[in-house]
Amino acid sequence: MQNIAPDLWVTETQNPAPGLTTRAYLWTRPEGNVLFYNTTIESEFDRMAELGGVADQYLSHQDEITSTLATMKDRFGTRLHIHESEASLVTATTVDDPFKERHTAFEGLEVIPAPGHTPGSSVYLATIADRRYLFTGDTIIRGEDGQWWAGYLPEFSDRDALAATLDTLAELSPEVIVSSAFMGDSGVTELGERPWADAVAEARTALLDGRSIV
């Protein structure tokens, strides 16, 4: 694991498909560490143990469901969170929080259902070391050329639901975007001076025009 910002660590990369890379992110906090997304690199669990384990794991969508969710729970007593529409897909272990509605999980973490990429896709807005990080899963990602794209998969995703989700995301005010899957060198994007609403609008326009990153 690598420390990429105060209280934020990232796992080694995995490549589930050609040109596609995924990572998981560990938020270290005195009240209990939080893991966003998932990793199947079991050697990373030893490093997580050194950092205090994992109290809670938040999945962004069904593609992150693997047998290592059970390993995480057995080793750390991790509480697993995923949208209720995809909770039944978890068979290796139990889901502790099959959530349905947008809510504040605790001070500094907002859980936001974001259907479209998959029915149970969700994003997480976390305030980490006084900065607002939006963990977007595969709902919206930045391409290698800097273009923002909606995570639309033909014959799988729901275009209308995804467009409505992007409208919701445009109302947020994150400073850093952290996607699950990404193309290029990193899934972490500092927005800088560019308004987040403009980035979302770019992705929404491409979505409605029938263009996609894949």
pLDDT tens readout for residues 58-87: 999 999 999 999 999 999 999 999 999 999
Considering the domain boundaries, does residue 195 fall inside one? yes
> What one-letter code names the amino acid at 58?
Y
Considering the domain boundaries, does residue 101 fall inside one? yes
Considering the domain boundaries, does residue 214 fall inside one? no
User: At 26, is the pLDDT very low, low, confident or very high (cuts 50, 70, 90)?
Assistant: very high
**E strand or H helix at 152:** none
How crowded is residue 43: how many other Cβ atoms within 10 Å of its Cβ? Answer: 10
Enclosing domain of residue 140? 2-208
CA atoms within 13 A on the CB side of 23: 21
Using an 8 Å Cβ cutoff, are 76 and 55 in contact?
A: yes
Residue 10, domain CATH = 3.60.15.10
Using an 8 Å Cβ cutoff, are 58 and 124 in contact?
A: yes
pLDDT of residue 160: 95
Considering the domain boundaries, does residue 160 fall inside one? yes
Considering the domain boundaries, does residue 91 fall inside one? yes
| pLDDT score of 161 more than 70 | yes
Reference 187, options 20, 38, 7; nearest CA is 20
Using an 8 Å Cβ cutoff, are 61 and 123 in contact?
A: no
> CA 37 to CA 22: how far, in whole Å?
9
Mean pLDDT for the chain overall: 93
pLDDT tens readout for residues 86-133: 999 999 999 999 999 999 999 999 999 999 999 999 999 999 999 999
User: At 29, is the pLDDT very low, low, confident or very high (cuts 50, 70, 90)?
Assistant: very high
Using an 8 Å Cβ cutoff, are 123 and 116 in contact?
A: no
Considering the domain boundaries, does residue 6 fall inside one? yes
| pLDDT score of 1 more than 70 | yes
pTM: 0.95
> CA 129 to CA 108: how far, in whole Å?
10
What residues are paired with 88 via a beta bridge? none
Sign of CA dihedral 173, 204, 189, 120: positive
Domain count, the chain: 1
Considering the domain boundaries, does residue 213 fall inside one? no
Considering the domain boundaries, does residue 51 fall inside one? yes
Determine phi and psi for 107, rounding to 5 degrees.
-60, 120
Reference 9, options 191, 20, 37, 31; nearest CA is 37
